[in-house]
């Protein structure tokens, strides 16, 4: 019994560290081109997966330290935008993990619901932090800038997240890391919602 209670936190810690490393390396695949990175959102993927697989605590922490750690290593994302991104990613990991862990049925519908709410919540937090930081950044943050940064420019990354993350979760189910319910529970998930 004691072996099981110790094993899960260690597994979550190792997975979180691995996803943090993936989040540090993944932006290199966008070629360090900020325009491409802001469209594909490579650091968002491991944070959302971390929240869903390891839980809201781990997702929130990995989301907050990832942009700060990456800035300390490589100078990207530039500050003060990196600080706003830290709060945004922490919100993604926290909200996705919290909602998914509280879902009655761990099915794909609950997964999509958690992802979409987390994406909206994280973008709202990002916008609020950017508004608070207008004095530090010495530039105004307008409604148009929020819409462009949060939704219009990020549309390819949002589509990538909505297709890639469920595929990763299904692959993790096959390895036994994530457990989805039986087919009858999935039907209940659809009927009850």
Cis ω for the linkage preceding 52 (within 30 of 0)? no
Q: Are the CB atoms for 112 and 102 separated by under 8 Å?
A: no
Count of alpha carbons within 13 angstroms of residue 8, beta-carbon side: 8
* DSSP letter assigned to residue 175: H
Cis ω for the linkage preceding 125 (within 30 of 0)? no
Count of alpha carbons within 13 angstroms of residue 28, beta-carbon side: 8
In this prediction, residue 181 carries a pLDDT of 58
Please tell me the least confidently modeled range out of 50-54, 130-134, 167-171, 178-182.
178-182
Per-residue pLDDT tens over the stretch 119-128: 999 999 988 8
Give me 139's structure tokens.
């530039």
Top-ranked range on mean pLDDT: pick from 80-94, 122-136, 172-186: 80-94
Burial (CB < 10 A; 0-12, 13-18, 19+), residue 105, is middle
* DSSP letter assigned to residue 78: P
Dihedral angle sign, alpha carbons of residues 175, 176, 180, 181: positive
CA distance 42 to 30: 8
Give me 86's structure tokens.
């830290």
CA distance 10 to 71: 27
Per-residue pLDDT tens over the stretch 35-56: 666 678 889 999 999 999 999 9
In this prediction, residue 17 carries a pLDDT of 95
């Amino acid at each position: 019994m004691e072996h099981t209670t110790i094993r899960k936190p260690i597994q979550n810690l190792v997975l979180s560290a691995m996803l943090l490393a993936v989040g540090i390396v993944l932006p290199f695949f966008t070629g360090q081109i900020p325009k491409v990175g802001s469209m594909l959102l490579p650091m968002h993927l491991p944070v959302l997966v971390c929240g869903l697989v390891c839980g809201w605590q781990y997702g929130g922490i990995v989301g907050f330290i990832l942009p700060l750690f990456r800035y300390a290593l490589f100078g990207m994302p530039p500050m003060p935008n990196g600080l706003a991104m830290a709060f945004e990613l922490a919100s993604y990991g926290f909200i996705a993990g919290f909602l998914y862990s509280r879902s009655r049925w761990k099915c794909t519908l609950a997964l999509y619901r958690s992802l979409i709410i987390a994406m909206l919540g994280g973008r709202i937090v990002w916008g609020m932090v950017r508004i608070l930081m207008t004095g530090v950044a010495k530039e105004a943050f307008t409604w148009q800038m929020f819409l462009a940064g949060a939704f219009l420019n990020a549309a390819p990354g949002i589509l990538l997240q909505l297709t890639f993350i469920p595929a990763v979760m299904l692959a993790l189910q096959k390895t036994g890391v994530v457990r989805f319910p039986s087919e009858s529970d999935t039907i209940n998930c659809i009927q009850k919602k």
